[in-house]
Amino acid sequence: MIDLHVHTNASDGTLSPAETVRHACRRGLSALAVTDHDTVEGVAEALAAGIDAGIEVVPGIEISAEHHLGTLHVLGYYIHHDDQRLRGRIDVLQQARNERNPRIIARLRELGVAITLEQVEREAETGQVGRPHFAKVMVQQGFVRSVREAFDRYLKKGACAYIDKYRFPADAAIACIRDAGGVAVLAHPAIIGPHSSAVLQELVAELTGYGLQGIEVYYPEHSSAQQQLYKSLARRFGLVETGGSDFHGTNVNGIEIGTGRGSLYVPDDVLQAVRERRSASAGIVRGV
């Protein structure tokens, strides 16, 4: 069993990269991909922990991209995480996140929710500051009863304190991954929105034109009908099928590494297929 979609506290997960790898090992996984949002900060630590634990760690990323159908997430596998051009491009995204946070605080304060950026940054500890951290501080300070309420009333898209942030267009997100030697995969297609299979097919055709190489088929929120649809799209466009749990840490969202909500299973040979795409895309001889 493997898991090709895992977050650490380098983005919005709760476990450090090393803890995440050890957790995967205890759960009996043979490989995992570390795919933090718009950052590769956790990759080096995860790779080192993987060597110690005897488990394969795939260096990865999950990049958010703008598209008229909705926000897309593009996973990148086997990226060269030290690549200078990649680092420069990711810095632009980190900058966009950092610029957004004070604007959220200002908006919340206008609405009478008097929390500070310092409180939110303390909550995030070492990782990226994101909306879940704002939500937790709002709960602690008694402005809302739960993280869910914080999102519903203030932070979710369209709510009164929602501030959008800059994202790459889809073609640039894919190029960012491919140029760093990575395999580019469309994450959780079901989450893009309630689109018809015809619309989704058009989207996949467009993204394949930009260099997309895979589609996330196995995912906790995918129904078996959706899984079948994504498999058929993979066949039609010659894409590799991938899968993962979108694990964000222990006791988060009821999602466990490897098994998701209990029924997820990503077979080992998925990883072999991804590796072959890497060889094909980078023109390098396969091998670790």
Task: Give the whole-angstrom CA distance, residue 196 versus residue 184.
Answer: 23
Closest separation between CB of residue 73 and Zn ion, Å?
A: 4
Closest separation between CB of residue 61 and Zn ion, Å?
A: 10
Give the residue with the Cβ less far from Zn ion, 73 or 278: 73
Give the residue with the Cβ less far from Zn ion, 32 or 113: 32
**Cα within 13 Å of Cα(3), Cβ side:** 28
Pair 219, 244: CB distance under 8 Å: yes
Closest separation between CB of residue 220 and Zn ion, Å?
A: 11
Closest separation between CB of residue 11 and Zn ion, Å?
A: 8
Q: Which tokens is 161 given? A: 């304190």
Give the residue with the Cβ less far from Zn ion, 38 or 62: 62
Q: Which tokens is 27 given? A: 């759960």
Give the residue with the Cβ less far from Zn ion, 23 or 73: 73
Task: Give the whole-angstrom CA distance, residue 207 versus residue 233.
Answer: 12
One-letter amino acid at 47 equals L
How long a stretch of residues is the chain?
288
Give the residue with the Cβ less far from Zn ion, 180 or 255: 255
Q: Closest residue to Zn ion, Cβ-based?
A: 73
Closest separation between CB of residue 142 and Zn ion, Å?
A: 30
Question: Which of 219, 259, 213 lies closest to 233, judged by CA?
Answer: 213
Closest separation between CB of residue 229 and Zn ion, Å?
A: 18
Pair 245, 255: CB distance under 8 Å: yes
Task: Give the whole-angstrom CA distance, residue 153 versus residue 102.
Answer: 19
Give the residue with the Cβ less far from Zn ion, 74 or 115: 74
- Which residues make up the interface to Zn ion (CB under 5 A)? 62, 73, 187, 246
Helices and strands per DSSP (H, E), number in the chain = 10, 8
